[in-house]
Chain A
Amino acid sequence: MIETALKALFILLYATFVGFMFMGIIRIVTARIHRRVGPPIYQPILDTIKLLSKKSNITHGLIYDFGILYAVGATVLAVMFIPLGNVGVLRAYGDLILITFLLEIPMLGIMFAAMSSGNPWAGIGAQRALLTLLAIQVPLGFAIVALAEYYGTFSTYQIVMAQQTMGWSIAHLPLLLAAIAYDLVLQAMFGKEPFDIMIAPGEISLGPMVEFGGKHMGLLNIQHAIALFAETLFFSNIFLGGGVVTAFASPILNTIASLGVLLVKQVAVLLVATFMAAIFPRFTIDQAAKFYWKWPTIIAALGAILASL
């Protein structure tokens, strides 16, 4: 019992810390592509500390507070379900549909909070976020179907184990197509540039985030960090072979090695997303919906069909 609690705590702390480092990496890489130096890598942590230590916290009622907690809770729960190398609290139960669902819940939580603030910008942002959410469902669904069809299971952990013997998912053509579609979807899930329509800084002044400040924004930053970690982790688990290393005799060494391998894979996923964010301009919401229902859907559907043959 205590061991499980300790494990959960370890996963939570690790996810938060690495998530913040990911946010720092995003800022540095974006800055380097712009030929700037950028902030130090721990800058998001400082930002969050500063936000959490603000004196005034504006609240607009119960739902406004609850939505944020809901988002954070859902993200934490998602991290618990995704297998993290050998470490995992609920990894035996983490099936693809559940995790995919849990990764989208935070957006709903933020929507709750934003809509209850009564700010028109937040309303527009929420509208756009929900439409994005709707648009990414189709390719996401097909990608998941392709995976499940190919491996014959919905369990993420079993998919990771299957990749140990069969090679990485992206080595197989149907799953490669699914991975490409999923990668395009990741861009919207991260809230990164071509599809950051819901946040749209400069266009609708941060959209849903417009009313948040102080502790709410700090919690949202933490949520974003954990979500970054969870999404990259999920992608590298199902498509990049996960990270279960059994090369060493000692279990601790094995754990550390698998965490390291996973980290490299996660950073690779993150870098692709950051590059795309740095070089492509933002879509409008109708273009994004059309795009998601067109190319990623076609690619993912092709993958699903090929997988079922």
Chain B
Amino acid sequence: MEEITFRIAPESKVRKKPSFLKPWMSIKYLFKKPVTIKIPYESLEPAKDYRGFHTLNWKTCIGCNMCGQICPARAIEMTWIEVDGKVEKRPHPKVDYGRCTFCQFCVDVCPTNALGFAESYMLTTEWKDEELQLFDWVPIPPETFREIQESRRDWRFPVERIKFNKETKEVTYYLKNGEEFKFKILGYGLKPPAAAKPKPAAKPAAKSVEKKEEPKAEKKEAPAKPEEKKE
């Protein structure tokens, strides 16, 4: 059996003598420049690839719900979307920043790299319902996000205000660069709601159909969750 000796620093080398005079040395900092970032006047650049808000390439997202499954906070919910009167074939993730922990597992797991993130990290609102809408969004495309981030460089959420019309289900993002970003949310969950199925129905009928869909969409959502667990 080999003997092993552990090196232990002797106490005499570790322990310091208490001193009355040495603390006075710290007065030298009185004349040094304070190490402070004066926030309203100076800004701090976040690191490259600082984990901030998400971006979503709407063209490449295939609605596989990998992100929804890996999300440890269950902040991601798939959303059925209609842009310019055209229903997207696949659902897109909607991120709830009330729950999100910014671990960006969803970004790592995304098979098509549709989900990404930018360095912006600041999102502050008051306790008004219409302002709290900001915390729940389908991320905007990376080009738009980057453009807003580069032009402002205040590392804030790129959307000024989100308006959700409950009757027409129309969502409007008022972006910080003045543009408006409009789409419709038809339903939530993995299974497509009835409105999302390509159905060239008569236009007056469409409205009544949509209203009926609301409860249906919610019901479908419920069974969808156990399915996720099985996978």
B29 and A33 form a contact (CB under 8 A): yes
Q: B29 near A35 (CB under 8 angstroms)?
A: yes
* B85 contacts the other chain (CB 8 A): no
Cβ of A173 under 8 Å from chain B: no
CB within 8 Å of A: which B53-95 residues: none
A93-101, A251-259, A274-282: which lies at the interface: A274-282
User: Are B26 and A278 touching (Cβ within 8 A)?
Assistant: yes
We find that the number of chain B residues with CB closer than 8 angstroms to chain A is 11
Cα–Cα, bound, A278→B24 (Å): 9
Chain A residue contacts of B29, Cβ below 8 A: 32-35
Contacts of B199 in A (CB 8 A): none
Bound-complex Cα distance A33 to B28 (A) = 8
A280 touching B34, Cβ below 8 Å: no
Alpha-carbon distance A280/B32, docked complex (angstroms): 20
Contact B24 A275 (CB under 8 A): yes
Does B23 touch A at the CB level, under 8 Å?
Answer: yes
Contact yes or no, B30 A29, CB < 8 A: yes
Q: Establish whether residues B36 and A37, one from each chain, have CB atoms under 8 Å apart when the complex forms.
A: yes
Q: Mark B111-146, 1 if CB is under 8 A from A, else 0.
A: 000000000000000000000000000000000000
Contact call B30/A33, Cβ cutoff below 8 A: yes
Q: Quick check: is A55 within 8 A (CB to CB) of the other chain?
A: no
Query: In this complex, which of B27, B30, B32, B36 has the most chain A Cβ atoms within 10 angstroms of its Cβ?
Result: B30
Inter-chain contacts of B36 with A (CB < 8 A): 35-37
CB neighbours of A305 from chain B (8 A) = none
A31 at interface, CB cutoff 8 A: yes
Q: Please name all residues of chain A whose beta carbon is closer than 8 Å to the beta carbon of B32 when the two chains form the complex.
A: 35
Chain A 5-38 interface residues, beta-carbon cutoff 8 Å to B: 29, 31-38
Chain B residue numbers with a CB within 8 Å of A280 are 23
Instruction: For the complex formed, measure the closest distance between the CB of B44 and the CB atoms of chain A, giving whole angstroms.
Output: 15
**Contact: A279 with B35, CB < 8 Å?**
no
B7 within 8 A of A: no
Name A27-53 residues within 8 Å CB distance of B: 29, 31-38
Chain A residues whose C-beta falls within 8 Å of the C-beta of B24 in the assembled complex: 275, 279
Contact B35 A35 (CB under 8 A): yes
The range of chain A's interface size is 10 to 19
B38 in contact with A279 (CB, 8 Å): no
The answer to whether B34 touches A279 (Cβ under 8 A) is: no
Task: Give the CA-CA distance A200 to B23 in the complex, in Å.
Answer: 20
Which of chain B's residues have a CB closer than 8 A to the CB of A278? 26-27
A279 and B36 CA atoms in complex are apart in Å by 20
B residues near A279, Cβ cutoff 8 Å: 23-24, 26-27
Q: Does A37 contact B27, Cβ atoms closer than 8 Å?
A: no
Contacts of B38 in A (CB 8 A): 37
Q: State whether A275 touches B34 (Cβ < 8 A).
A: no
> CA separation between A38 and B35, bound complex, in Å?
11
Contact with A along B138-167 (1 / 0, CB 8 A): 000000000000000000000000000000
B3-36 residues at the A interface, CB under 8 angstroms: 23-24, 26-27, 29-30, 32, 34-36
**Distance from B39 Cβ to chain A, minimum over Cβ atoms (Å):** 11
Residue of A at shortest CB range from B35? A35
Complex CA gap A217/B37 in Å reads 32
> What mask results when residues 253 to 294 of chain A are scored 1 for a CB within 8 Å of chain B, else 0?
000000000000000000000010011100000000000000
B27 touches A33 (CB 8 A): yes
Q: Which residues on the B side are within 8 Å of A34 (C-beta)?
A: 29
Whether the pair B34, A33 counts as a contact (CB closer than 8 A) is no
Question: Closest CB-CB distance, A70 to chain B, in whole Å?
Answer: 37
Q: How far is the CB of A296 from chain B (nearest CB, A)?
A: 14
CB-CB under 8 A from A33, the residues of chain B are 26-27, 29-30
Chain A residues with CB under 8 Å of B30's CB are 29, 32-33
A36 to B26, CA, bound (A): 14
Q: Check A35 against B34 for contact (C-beta < 8 Å).
A: yes
* B38: nearest chain-A partner, CB-CB: A37
Top-5 shortest CB links A-B: A279-B23, A37-B36, A37-B34, A32-B30, A35-B35
23 contacts between A and B (CB under 8 A): A29-B30, A32-B29, A32-B30, A32-B34, A33-B26, A33-B29, A33-B30, A35-B34, A35-B35, A35-B36, A36-B34, A36-B36, A37-B34, A37-B36, A37-B38, A38-B34, A275-B24, A275-B27, A278-B26, A278-B27, A279-B23, A279-B24, A280-B23
Q: A31-B34, A32-B34, A33-B27 are in contact. List 18 more A-B contacts (CB 8 A).
A: A32-B29, A32-B30, A33-B26, A33-B30, A34-B29, A35-B29, A35-B32, A35-B34, A35-B35, A35-B36, A36-B36, A38-B34, A275-B24, A275-B27, A278-B26, A279-B24, A279-B26, A279-B27
CB within 8 Å of A: which residues of B? 23-24, 26-27, 29-30, 32, 34-36, 38
